[in-house]
Amino acid sequence: VFAELETPAVLVDVDVLDRNLTGMAERARAAGVRLRPHAKTHKTAQVAGRQRAAGATGLSVAKTGEAEAFADAGFDDLFVAYPVVGADKGRRLLALHDRIRLAVGADSVEGAETLARVFAGAGRTLDVVLKIDVGLHRVGVLPEHAAAVARQIADQPGLRLTGIFTHAGHAYGGQTPDAVAAVARDEGRTMATVAEALRAAGLPIATVSVGSTPTARDSMVVPGVTECRPGNYVFHDRTQVALGTCRLEDCALTVLATVVSVPADSRAVVDAGSKVLSSDPLRPRPDGHGLVLGTRTTVARLSEEHGVLEVAPGDRFRVGERVLILPNHACVVTNLQDRIWTVSGGQVLEPWSLIARGRVQ
């Protein structure tokens, strides 16, 4: 299969990709919310362009460097969905602000101040969106503290508070689709309630933004939500299948690998290890590092250049054979390569450059 490609290689089925893109865009339209997909999943101008063509308002990114990469590629409405901190980052955001529509996340007065000083010093104003913690307990302010922090951020010269955003990443721990949906509804309702409270305190909250692929369907329909920022939905992965977010045939990204060793009947080894699949565990329950498509065999262990298959009863692999592996987490796979190869109907089309790979600063 795909004999013209050397392995390991990352493939994206563009037919599945386009179906995923269109489906989410239609869902957002039906819900009456703006779609601002997170570009960290695909890291490519080509997918971002298809998202825009399907109706996306703009893109979300995680880091200043990702914003620079997509601004360079012609995307002019970007939200850095991260509590950016530091004058060095502030200066780069100021340069970006010269050429695109830009908003940046914040979750503390101290952090926002480091950007405010740079923008106020230049006589400019940066749009800031406050991060709310709806239960992931990673970053973000708790709903009960939102009004106080929002007021102090809004009062800083150089900043304009325009909205609130969240990421209900704890949905990835949901053991059933119903549990995931409950997290999603709570995400939407909490955000709508916080927005109302801030408005009652005199803060002009325009954007109420929710995120995540597993919760998108149920959180974007909650009244009061204005924007949705899913990322993974363009490719999906083994974790989304395990969560019940999608079916196996909705997964667009796979890893093409070669069996390099079959040391025992129960063990085969492929040339894709953690440097291709990443060592991210399956969510919501750990179960190896990938599924060999068309088989019941999983990648049971990884080292950097070895994927060790625990061969399921009835499956058999031979040295030199090529296999397609569905990875646990697509977003990290695209951070490990310089390009992905598009395919359609079993044919290789073209490479797409991962322009935002490694842009962690």
Distances 302 to 99, 270, 275 between C-alpha atoms, Å: 43, 10, 9
User: How far apart, in whole angstroms, are the C-alpha atoms of residue 247 and residue 299?
Assistant: 20
- What minimum distance in Å lies between the beta carbon of 273 and a second copy? 8
Residue 317 one-letter amino acid: F
- What minimum distance in Å lies between the beta carbon of 129 and a second copy? 14
User: How far apart, in whole angstroms, are the C-alpha atoms of residue 100 and residue 309?
Assistant: 47
Smaller CB distance to a second copy: residue 19 or 267? Answer: 267
Identify whether the C-beta of residue 325 lies closer than 8 Å to the C-beta of residue 311. Answer: no
My answer on whether omega of the bond before 8 falls inside 30° of 0, hence cis, is: yes
Helix, strand, coil shares, percent, the chain, to 5: 35, 25, 40
Smaller CB distance to a second copy: residue 13 or 271? Answer: 271
- What minimum distance in Å lies between the beta carbon of 278 and a second copy? 7
Tell me the β-bridge partners of 102. Answer: 78
Smaller CB distance to a second copy: residue 92 or 97? Answer: 92
User: How far apart, in whole angstroms, are the C-alpha atoms of residue 122 and residue 106?
Assistant: 20
Distances 296 to 45, 209, 292 between C-alpha atoms, Å: 35, 39, 7
- Cβ neighbours for 23, distance < 8 A, ≥ 6 positions apart: 233
Smaller CB distance to a second copy: residue 169 or 188? Answer: 169
Smaller CB distance to a second copy: residue 39 or 54? Answer: 39
Smaller CB distance to a second copy: residue 313 or 320? Answer: 320
Smaller CB distance to a second copy: residue 28 or 270? Answer: 270
Smaller CB distance to a second copy: residue 25 or 113? Answer: 113
User: How far apart, in whole angstroms, are the C-alpha atoms of residue 53 and residue 344?
Assistant: 20
**Tokens (6 digits) for 324:** 């397609």
Residues that bind a second copy (CB under 8 A): 6-9, 40, 62-63, 82-86, 88-89, 107-108, 110-111, 114, 133, 137-142, 169, 258-264, 267, 269, 271-276, 278-281, 301, 303-306, 308, 318-320, 331-332, 335-338, 358, 360-361
**Which residue in this structure is represented by tokens 């914040």?**
106
- What minimum distance in Å lies between the beta carbon of 223 and a second copy? 28
- What minimum distance in Å lies between the beta carbon of 26 and a second copy? 28
User: How far apart, in whole angstroms, are the C-alpha atoms of residue 84 and residue 90?
Assistant: 8
Q: Which helix (H) or strand (E) holds 104?
A: strand 101-106
- What minimum distance in Å lies between the beta carbon of 224 and a second copy? 24
Identify whether the C-beta of residue 198 lies closer than 8 Å to the C-beta of residue 228. Answer: no
- What minimum distance in Å lies between the beta carbon of 8 and a second copy? 6
**Which of 345-349's residues contact partners 24+ apart within 8 Å by CB, and which partners?**
345/15, 346/1, 346/2, 348/2, 348/4, 348/5, 349/14
- What minimum distance in Å lies between the beta carbon of 237 and a second copy? 13
Backbone angles phi, psi at 268, to 5 degrees: -135, 155
Smaller CB distance to a second copy: residue 221 or 299? Answer: 299
- What minimum distance in Å lies between the beta carbon of 82 and a second copy? 6
